[in-house]
Each structure stands twice: as C-alpha cells, then as structure tokens.
Amino acid sequence: MKYQNSLAFAKQLDKEDKLSSLRNRFLIPKDKNGDDWLYFTGNSLGLQPKSTKDYISQELEDWANLGVEGHFEAKHPWINYHEYLTDKMAKIVGAKPPEVVIMNTLTTNLHLLMVSFYQPTKTKYKIVIESDAFPSDRYAVESQLKFHGFDADEGVILWKPRVGEELLRIEDLEEILTNQGDEIAMLLIGGLNYYTGQFLDLKRIAEIGHAKGCVVGIDLAHGAGNVQPNLHDSGVDFAAWCTYKYLNSGPGSIAGLFVHEKHAYKKDLPRFAGWWNHNKETRFNMRQPFDVLPGAEGWQLSNPPVLAMAPILASLDLFEEVGMDALREKSEKLTGYFEFLINEIGSDDIKIITPKKPKERGCQLSIQVKNADKSLHKKLMENHVITDWREPDVIRCAPVPMYNSFEDVYQMVEILKKYL
C-alpha cells in the first residue's frame, strides 16, 4: 500500500478497517476534558476490555450465592477454570492444547521450567541469553547457575549485536554454538526483544541449539498476542509469557506456559510437585502417592486463582472472536503507517531501531532519540501521548491493532513533530 501523510488518509484507513469496531470494546483512558489519550503502551499494560468487569462479577456472584459449591456449580465451575483458557491460548501462541497451561507468573514459570530442563553437568552448564534481555531473565538464569553451584559470571554467555548495530544476527548465535556448544546446556532467548522490538526466528534458534544438544527455551512476554510464534512447529522445548501486555488481562495477571509435546508426556522429567499437577481422577483422594498429569498441566502446583483468571478469559474470548490472522494483518498495516509517518519527519534527532521487515517485528517501534535526556518523552506524556521510555535513549511505541486507530498514529506523530 502507498501511504499518505494526511489526517484525511488516516481517517479513510479507519473507515476501511474491518476491525475498527473493536476499539469500542475497550476502556480508553481520558484526559480532564474527556478526550481519549493516545495510548501506545500496550507493550507494557494492555487496556481493559469493557467485558472484564462482567466476567469478574460473574465469579463474585457465584461465590456469594454458592460458596464452596461454586467449585462444581458455578456458571464456569472453578475446579476446571484454567481449562476454559487452554484452547484459546494455544491458538494464539501456535501450540497444541495439551502443550499449554495458564498458571503463576512469568518468572515463576521460567524457574519451574528450568527445574525440569536445566540439567547441567560439570562441563556442560552454560546458558545463552541476549545481551539486552529483559532484566528478570538475566536474574533468573544467574540464580539458577548459582543454585547449581556455578559462577554466574562464567556461566552466562551473551548473544550481542555487532559493534555499531542494535539488532541481533542469527549467524552470530551460530558462531557462539559452534565455538562453545559443548559447554552450553541451555538457550533462554526473548523471542521478541523488549527493547528493539526484534522478532527472532524461533525455529532457527531451536535448530541451532538442538544441533549442539542444548535445551531451548523462549521468553514470549512481548510476543504473545502480538506476533504468531507457532511454538509447536518451531520445535523449542519450552516457553513462558505474561498476559497483561498484549493479552489485556490486567496488571500483574497470571502467566502462560508451553512445553513441547515431545517432553510434555515424560513423567520422569524432574519437576516440583503440588496438588494440581496430580492425577485429576485421584486428586481428592488425599492418601494417594503423587501421579503427575500428562501435558503442560503437569507443571501446575496449585488450584487456579479464579478471580485473577476471569479477566484473561474476557480477553481471550475477544481474541477467539477476531483471530490472530486478522489481528496480524491489521498490525502490519498499522505499524507500517506509523513507520511511514515517522520517516516522513526527516529528523536526524530520531531513528527507528526496530527491524524494517514486518515479519521480523510485532507492532512495537522503538524510536532512538539523539542526545536523549528523556525530555521528548516527557513532552509526549504531558500531551497525553502515553509511550514508554527505556534507558538510555529509546521511546517504545506500540500501536495495538485491538484498540489503536490509524488516526491515533497520525495524531501522535503530529505531536512528536511539534516537540522535535
């Protein structure tokens, strides 16, 4: 499509957009005058679907009216509540339903997965992460190394961009594995980098790691609900993600976990055990020995937190209704228009460091600011353009196809131009 730099063109794109009505199903923050904010931080916290309150109210009503019997008699019986999310979530991340479960929070899930999949030896114990991984991933792998008795400084191998570049090159990861693969036990890679917005080739990463006998795990925090990671076909061993960003489930909400079916049915894999990964048929016979569930459910520990899962169900029902194919189609068009308008500014003070190819990014564009002191970001915020600042010099902006419009993008860039 040939884009045009005009408000009329942006409004025409919104008029032609088959998903434009979705915006009306979300609560958009407003300024003191009652005008909608220009909200571009769905990559940090997604907006609330209007239906969320009803989903939570249903569980509160069933709790009030049924008490403990709500486990079996509620509209959505609580004892199986996590199962209502499974099929919908599996479609979003490209997995088979038995490979997915919703539970805990992201870093907790990564640790539980590493209990099973990080099995170091004295000579093969190192872990590869991106040099600019989200801090919690680095903290998690460093603590795992220390827990197993290794020096974290020696045990972490960083996959870095080349000097003068911002993006990772897959051939550099290949070189790391060629040179050090015999010492590497695991790769834990952010599938979509939080800082640059780069969407990595998960299938190729899995192939590179497996060729050297390494386990491959993916942090999909910035990918779930944003891109189509096709986790099953990628062949990665495990993955985890949060749901409060693009999946719109509310601050600090419950996370998701994937275990590839080649592992999911191995009952002898080491893991922590709890009530909820025990055989469902004998779960309430309290005197039975532990019998682990097959599939990703076998990594659960506790019963589902129903009031926290209700907002996830509200959002996943929207995703089920629309489908990831339609969302990605709009996302590529919306972010493409955003990129076009930023490039039209022609300023040497900013540049986009996110990959140019739509298949190598999600909806986020990371704008690097020359001689940054955060003042430009503050000016945007003062004008109710809600973006996300990341040190040392990047403004992250995510036009989310669920609720952002082409007019949002146009108005945001007009304000950006003014303060440049």
Give the end-to-end CA distance of the chain in Å, rounded to a whole number. Answer: 28
Residue 212 has pLDDT above 90, yes or no: yes
**pTM score > 0.75 for this model?**
yes
Residue with tokens 């979705």: 22
pLDDT digit string, tens, across residues 283-321: 888 788 899 999 999 999 999 999 999 999 999 999 999
Same domain, 143 and 282: yes
pLDDT at 235: 98
Which helix (H) or strand (E) segment holds residue 343: the answer is helix 324-345
Same domain, 261 and 283: yes
Residue with tokens 């894999």: 269
Helix locations, 216-370, DSSP H: 231-234, 261-264, 306-322, 324-345
Same domain, 260 and 404: no
List the CATH number of the domain containing 413.
3.90.1150.10
CA distances from 80 to 75, 95, 241, 414 (A): 11, 20, 21, 49
Residue 291 counted as domain residue: yes
Residue 224 counted as domain residue: yes
pLDDT at 327: 98
Helix locations, 17-118, DSSP H: 52-66, 70-73, 83-93, 106-117
CA distance 217 to 231: 10
- In percent, how much of the chain has pLDDT > 70? 100
Q: How many domains does the chain have?
A: 2
Tell me what the mean pLDDT of segment 196-204 comes to: 98
pLDDT digit string, tens, across residues 184-199: 999 999 999 999 999 9
Average pLDDT, the chain: 96
pLDDT digit string, tens, across residues 260-283: 999 999 999 999 999 899 988 888
Residue 162 counted as domain residue: yes
DSSP string covering 69-86, please?
GHHHHSSS-GGGTTHHHH
What is the identity of the amino acid at 238?
F
User: Which residue segment(s) compose the domain that 332 sits in?
Assistant: 7-36+323-419
Residue 17 counted as domain residue: yes
Residue 50 counted as domain residue: no
pLDDT band at 32; cut points 50, 70, 90: confident
pLDDT digit string, tens, across residues 9-22: 999 999 999 999 99
Residue 49 counted as domain residue: no
